[in-house]
Each structure stands twice: as structure tokens, then as C-alpha cells.
């Protein structure tokens, strides 16, 4: 599938997005995409509880929200929840959610200091490396002081992740980033307070349901299928 030179890359994938993610390894790992979002949501809930951030009093922005799966899961728990994305076609699946399109890849359509939590899930590997600090600076701008930024990404150290990414059409132009690169991006944008990295997606869904606690033992081992990097604004 070639990139559309006239619009956001993901507009061309939106209609068949779920099918384009189909992969036999992914299908053996989990019964559907819901499990992957459930795991991300759990990480966010645990982190917020740990730092004493009450979502009922907080405003959340999910940058590059795509079809809004994470946003749909988390929004009912927040005082306010918003998503934004370059692809209006992807956001057609976001009915009932508070989502805003934006046209400039380096500029977020929100005022300074609007959010307590900003998540960016599987977006940075679709950005050209020089564009990454620009988006991170924007995230810093729209976060409140002591607000939390969370980057969730595929872990390039995990061989199954590498294999799935290599054969997934929507990842044709993907450039995976290591957790250290995500941490450096946050630190470089003044979001480097209390940096924390958690590796997850070690256990397939069936095993996770029985022995999920094992994943917390492995959270610092850089081998999980994905990782989350959390940082706070100074």
C-alpha cells in the first residue's frame, strides 16, 4: 500500500484498519485488540493511583487517538477526556467521543496548560525522527505543571514485535524507537521529572488472565512486546 501524498497517511488505512492489523502471531497472543487496550489502561490506572492523580478531577488528552479504542475505555473515568489525530478518517470510528482533527503534524489544537495527562500510543514510530521533538514540545506546552506524559510504543528489542511490525501494512513506514529514545524525548522537552519505564505484553491473554502478576516482576526487563514511558512536567 503506498502512502497518500495528498492527506494523512492513516486516512487510507481507516476503512480496513482492524483487518490490516490481522496477524497469526497477534491472533495467538490475544483474542482481539481489546486485550491490548485493556493492558494499557491498567498501566495508566496503576500509575495514576501511585502518584495520587485522581482521574475524576483530571483532564486527559490522547494524541493520535486513531479509532479511539483507548479513549473509549478510559473516558468515563475522567472529568474530561479528549482525543486528536491527523486522520479524520480514523476518527470516524470515534462517535460519542470528544475528538478534534488537526492538520499540522507538529501543532496540537489546544491551549497551553490544558491537561493533567497526555498519552501518545503507537504514534511516535510513524513520525520522522526530526518531527518527534516538535510533537513532544507541543505535548509539554498543553500539559499543566506536574502533568504526566505517557509514550507507549512497540519494543524493538522484542523479536515477535519486530516480526509483526515488518509484515503489518500500516507499519510499512514505521521506524521503531527504543525506550531510551522515548525517555530522551521527554527529558528534552522538560517532561523528564520522575521518568519511569514499564515493559509489558510478555504473557499472552490466556496466561495473563491466570498469572498476570508475573508481568509486574518483568516490568523492568526490556523484553516485553511494548513499553510505556511516563514523565512529568517540571
Ligand X SMILES: C[S@@+](CC[C@H](N)C(=O)[O-])C[C@H]1O[C@@H](n2cnc3c(N)ncnc32)[C@H](O)[C@@H]1O
By CB under 6 A, residue 69 contacts ligand X: yes
Question: Measuring CA to CA, how many Å separate 70 from each of 4, 76, 97, 163?
Answer: 26, 11, 11, 24
Nearest Cα residue to 144 out of 53, 234, 230, 79: 234
By CB under 6 A, residue 89 contacts ligand X: no
- Nearer to ligand X (CB atom), residue 100 or residue 234: 100
Stretch that binds ligand X, among 41-49, 119-127, 190-198, 216-224 (CB under 6 A): 119-127
Stretch that binds ligand X, among 23-31, 82-90, 207-215, 219-227 (CB under 6 A): 82-90
By CB under 6 A, residue 64 contacts ligand X: yes
- DSSP for 169-200, written as a single string: GGGTT-----HHHHHHHHHHTT--EEEEEEEE
Nearest Cα residue to 12 out of 24, 4, 20: 4
By CB under 6 A, residue 74 contacts ligand X: no
- Near ligand X by CB under 6 A: residue from 39, 72, 126, 233: 126
By CB under 6 A, residue 150 contacts ligand X: no
Q: How many CB atoms lie within 10 A of CB 195?
A: 16
By CB under 6 A, residue 138 contacts ligand X: no
By CB under 6 A, residue 65 contacts ligand X: yes
- Near ligand X by CB under 6 A: residue from 87, 158, 161, 226: 87
User: Which grid cell is 169?
Assistant: 501494512
Cα–Cα dist 43/27, whole Å: 22
Cα–Cα dist 218/158, whole Å: 13
By CB under 6 A, residue 66 contacts ligand X: yes
Cα–Cα dist 17/214, whole Å: 32
By CB under 6 A, residue 148 contacts ligand X: no
By CB under 6 A, residue 215 contacts ligand X: no
Whether the CA torsion 26, 212, 182, 93 is positive or negative: it is: positive
- Nearer to ligand X (CB atom), residue 46 or residue 173: 173
Q: Per-residue contact track with ligand X, 6 to 25, x per CB under 6 A?
A: --x-x---------------
By CB under 6 A, residue 63 contacts ligand X: yes
Task: Point out which residues bind ligand X (CB under 6 A).
Answer: 8, 10, 63-66, 69-70, 85-87, 90, 105, 121-123, 126-127, 135
Amino acid at each position: 500500500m503506498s502512502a497518500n501524498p495528498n492527506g494523512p497517511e492513516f486516512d487510507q488505512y481507516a476503512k480496513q484498519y482492524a483487518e490490516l492489523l490481522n496477524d497469526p502471531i497477534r491472533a495467538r497472543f490475544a483474542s482481539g485488540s481489546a486485550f491490548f487496550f485493556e493492558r494499557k489502561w491498567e498501566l495508566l490506572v496503576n500509575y495514576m493511583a501511585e502518584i495520587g492523580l485522581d482521574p475524576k478531577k483530571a483532564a486527559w488528552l490522547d494524541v493520535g487517538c486513531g479509532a479511539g479504542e483507548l479513549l473509549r475505555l478510559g473516558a468515563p473515568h475522567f472529568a474530561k477526556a479528549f482525543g486528536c489525530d491527523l486522520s479524520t478518517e480514523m476518527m470516524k470510528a470515534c462517535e460519542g467521543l470528544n475528538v478534534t482533527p488537526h492538520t499540522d503534524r507538529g501543532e496540537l489544537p489546544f491551549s497551553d496548560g490544558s491537561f493533567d495527562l497526555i498519552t501518545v500510543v503507537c504514534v511516535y514510530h510513524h513520525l520522522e525522527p526530526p518531527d518527534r521533538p516538535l510533537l513532544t514540545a507541543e505535548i509539554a506546552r498543553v500539559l499543566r505543571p506536574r502533568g504526566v506524559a505517557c509514550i507507549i510504543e512497540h519494543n524493538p528489542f522484542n523479536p515477535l514485535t519486530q516480526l509483526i511490525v515488518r509484515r503489518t501494512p500500516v507499519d510499512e513506514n514505521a521506524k521503531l524507537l527504543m525506550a531510551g529514545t522515548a525517555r530522551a524525548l521527554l527529558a528534552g522537552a522538560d517532561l523528564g521529572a520522575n521518568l519511569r519505564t514499564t515493559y509489558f505484553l510478555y504473557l499472552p491473554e490466556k496466561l495473563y488472565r491466570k498469572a498476570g502478576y508475573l508481568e509486574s516482576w518483568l516490568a523492568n526487563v526490556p523484553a516485553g512486546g511494548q513499553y510505556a514511558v511516563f514523565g512529568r512536567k517540571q
